């Protein structure tokens, strides 16, 4: 009995612990199940934008960053939209366009012709307005048909319809109206979270067969006109070339003549300079010779003057010496020299009544 009582006393405690563990495990499982059914995981890549919609309040949250997003799946839904640039191809080529039938754009020109153009439209959603896209277009790619296609076709048809048939061949004029149309389209659809990034007309416009034939004929005529204009232009260019050539020859001849005249002027100046220098040299020589001769004559005159002065002084001295008795004595001496060796024959008297005179002149 004692052992049985012991067993009865311990068993209730173990049973209580086991029950507690079961309760805890069950609660944990319930929490895990609640979490699994309540919280969901959504992965958003770099090319996508997410929108969490609160199904109770209707409020939205835009998620533009990439990564894993955890949200309450009971009260919220996660929508993922592609934010990359999409292409809408509207073409007459059945195997290439978005639709199986011909989908090129028919345009009525301002002068009444029907023109068909292929168009490629590049568009994308505005990431920050992904919730607007979701509200106005729903999930998926519905905005492609709802906004991009319809607005592009309608507005481009009106805008390009301002061209004449011939102007459709002018790409620059087409681009002006195409850009104008793209601006108007964006002004209308950006409020829906969509924008057009580019509109491309990849091929030339095409017309109905009869008009195509007329266009080809006109092109041939235009080509002939262009050829004639090219020939005329070539002739004008040749004329310009000949004029330039002859002008250059004339200028060369003028320059050669100017050079000849300049050489002659330089030669004349050189000859004149040479003659001037020769004249200067002759003048210098004559001047020097005259100066030397003058100096020589001057010196000769000075010598003569000195000699004559000396002679005059000698005569003056002789004169002074001959004055008085000295002069008479000298006369006597000279007279005696003359008489020396002379034989005097005659009578000491004269029969003539004429009186004779004896003169004595002293010489050197």
The separation between the first and the last C-alpha atoms of the chain, rounded to the nearest angstrom, is 216
What secondary structure does DSSP assign to 92-158, as a single string? S-TTTSSSSS--PEEEE-TTS-EEEE-EEEEEEE-GGGHHHHHHHH-STTHHIIIIIIHHHHHHHHH
Q: Is the overall model pTM greater than 0.85, yes or no? A: no
d(CA 303, CA 103): 139
* pLDDT score for 7: 41
Buried b (16+ CB within 10 A) or exposed e, 43-69: ebeeebbbbbbeeeeeebebbeeeeeb
Instruction: Give the per-residue pLDDT at 144.
Output: 79
Instruction: Kindly report, residue by residue over 82-112, the tens digit of the pLDDT.
Output: 889 988 888 888 878 778 888 888 888 898 8
Q: What residues contact 199, with CB distance under 8 A and at least 6 apart? A: 119, 120, 121, 122, 152, 156, 178, 181, 182
Query: Residue 176: its pLDDT value, please?
Result: 92
Q: Tens place of pLDDT for every residue, the chain, 364 residues?
A: 344 444 444 445 556 677 777 777 777 776 666 666 667 788 889 899 999 888 888 888 898 888 888 887 778 888 888 889 988 888 888 878 778 888 888 888 898 888 888 899 999 999 999 899 888 888 777 777 778 888 899 999 999 999 988 788 788 888 999 999 999 999 999 999 999 999 988 777 776 565 656 666 666 667 667 777 777 887 888 788 888 888 888 888 888 888 888 888 888 888 888 888 888 787 777 888 778 877 788 788 878 888 888 877 777 776 676 666 666 677 777 767 776 666 666 565 555 566 555 555 555 4
Do 107 and 160 touch, CB atoms closer than 8 A? Answer: yes
DSSP assignment, residue 346? S
Domain ranges of the chain: 14-80, 85-207, 246-336
Mean pLDDT over the full length of the chain: 78
In degrees and rounded to multiples of 5, residue 67 shows phi and psi of: 140, -170
Fold for the domain defined by 85-207: Tetrahydropterin Synthase; Chain A (3.30.479)
pLDDT (tens digit, 9 = 90+) per residue, 263-297? 888 888 888 888 888 887 877 778 887 788 777 88
Identify the pLDDT of residue 11: 45
Backbone angles phi, psi at 82, to 5 degrees: -80, 125
């Amino acid at each position: 009995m004692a052992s049985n009582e012991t067993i009865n006393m311990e068993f209730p405690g173990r049973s209580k612990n086991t029950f507690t563990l079961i309760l805890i495990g069950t609660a944990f499982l319930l929490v895990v199940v609640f979490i699994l059914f309540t919280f969901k995981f959504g992965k958003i890549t770099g090319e996508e934008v997410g929108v969490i919609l609160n199904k109770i309040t209707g409020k939205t949250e835009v998620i533009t960053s990439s990564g894993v997003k955890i949200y309450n799946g009971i009260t919220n839904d996660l929508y993922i939209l592609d934010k990359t640039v999409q292409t809408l191809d509207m073409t007459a080529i059945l195997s290439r366009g978005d639709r199986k039938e011909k989908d090129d754009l028919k345009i009525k020109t301002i002068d009444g012709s029907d023109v068909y153009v292929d168009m490629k439209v590049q568009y994308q959603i505005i990431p920050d307005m992904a919730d607007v896209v979701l509200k106005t277009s729903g999930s998926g790619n519905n905005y492609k048909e709802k906004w991009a296609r319809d607005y592009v076709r309608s507005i481009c048809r009106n805008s390009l319809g301002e061209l004449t048939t011939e102007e459709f061949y002018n790409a620059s004029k087409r681009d002006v109206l195409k850009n104008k149309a793209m601006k108007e389209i964006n002004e209308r659809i950006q409020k829906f979270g969509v924008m057009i990034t580019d509109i491309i007309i990849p091929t030339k416009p095409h017309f109905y067969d009869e008009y195509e034939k007329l266009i080809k004929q006109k092109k041939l005529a235009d080509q002939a006109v262009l050829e004639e204009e090219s020939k005329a232009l070539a002739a004008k260019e040749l004329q310009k070339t000949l004029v330039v050539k002859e002008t250059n020859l004339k200028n060369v001849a003028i320059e050669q003549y100017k050079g000849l005249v300049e050489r002659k002027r330089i030669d004349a100046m050189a000859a004149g300079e040479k003659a001037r220098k020769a004249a200067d040299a002759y003048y210098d020589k004559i001047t020097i010779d005259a100066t030397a001769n003058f100096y020589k004559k001057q010196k000769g005159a000075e010598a003569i003057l000195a000699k004559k002065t000396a002679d005059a002084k000698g005569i003056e001295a002789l004169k002074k010496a001959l004055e008085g008795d000295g002069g008479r004595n000298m006369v006597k001496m000279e007279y005696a020299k003359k008489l020396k060796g002379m034989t005097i024959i005659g009578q000491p008297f004269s029969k003539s009544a004429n009186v004779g005179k004896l003169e004595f002149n002293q010489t050197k």
